[in-house]
């Protein structure tokens, strides 16, 4: 095995490990740190999976953000009794993670991070509006889920931002 192949192998294992850890963190934060919202007719859920998604996307980039968010939260849907939602979650939350990582990959300033969170909110509202419309066959009912989606992203952003700032200031992920 030559040096290039060893280096490539190390990088692949490192990326695989980071992605697996981010998926696991997103799943655990979604599955075990959540609260059902009484404000929505369709059983909305506020969870801290968005915190793990946002941290993963900002620190490790768009690919890890997409993988961690999409797979981590879709896995929760599959295992948590929301099976019908899993394909939509995979796409919608995967796109959220990708966009957050894309917007913040070159400049991790607070303004870019906040813009990325705002775009994630728009993607979530639009994506889950269409998902709910398709699932329930009703295009009016999904409007009732919008407040819960807003709360979910705002809570995630408020908790994730200081964590991201601390991790970036520590500089421990600069080499990743």
Q: Parse the chain into domains and list their residue ranges.
A: 3-170
Report phi then psi at 175, rounded to 5. -90, -10
So what's the architecture of 3-170 in CATH? Orthogonal Bundle (1.10)
| DSSP letter (8 states) at residue 47 | E
Write out 73-131 in H/E/C secondary structure.
Answer: HHHHHHHCCCHHHHHHHHHHHHHHHHHHHHHHCCCCCHHHHHHHHHHHHHHHHHHHHHH
Q: Is 97 exposed, middle or buried (0-12, 13-18, 19+ CB in 10 A)?
A: buried
Contact 44, 36 (CB under 8 A): yes
Question: What is the Cα 85 distance to its own chain's centre?
Answer: 15
Q: What is the pLDDT along the chain (176 residues), one digit of tens a residue?
A: 455 666 677 779 999 999 999 999 999 999 998 877 676 555 567 899 999 999 999 999 999 999 999 999 999 999 999 999 999 999 999 999 999 999 999 999 999 999 999 999 999 999 999 999 999 999 999 998 899 899 999 999 999 999 999 999 998 776 55
């Amino acid at each position: 095995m030559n040096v290039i192949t060893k280096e490539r192998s190390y990088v692949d294992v490192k990326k695989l490990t980071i992605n697996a850890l981010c998926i696991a963190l997103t799943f655990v934060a979604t599955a075990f740190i959540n609260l059902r919202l009484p404000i929505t007719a369709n059983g909305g859920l506020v969870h801290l999976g968005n915190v793990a998604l946002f941290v993963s996307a900002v620190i490790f980039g768009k690919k890890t953000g997409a993988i961690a968010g999409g797979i981590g939260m879709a896995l929760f849907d599959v295992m948590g009794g929301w099976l019908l939602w899993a394909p939509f979650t995979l796409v919608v939350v995967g796109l959220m993670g990708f966009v957050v990582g894309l917007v913040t990959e070159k400049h991790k300033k607070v303004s870019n991070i906040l813009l990325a969170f705002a775009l994630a909110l728009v993607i979530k509202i639009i994506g889950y509006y269409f998902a709910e419309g398709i699932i329930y066959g009703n295009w009016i009912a999904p409007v009732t889920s919008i407040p819960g989606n807003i709360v979910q992203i705002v809570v995630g952003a408020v908790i994730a931002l200081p964590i991201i700032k601390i991790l970036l200031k520590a500089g421990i992920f600069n080499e990743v």
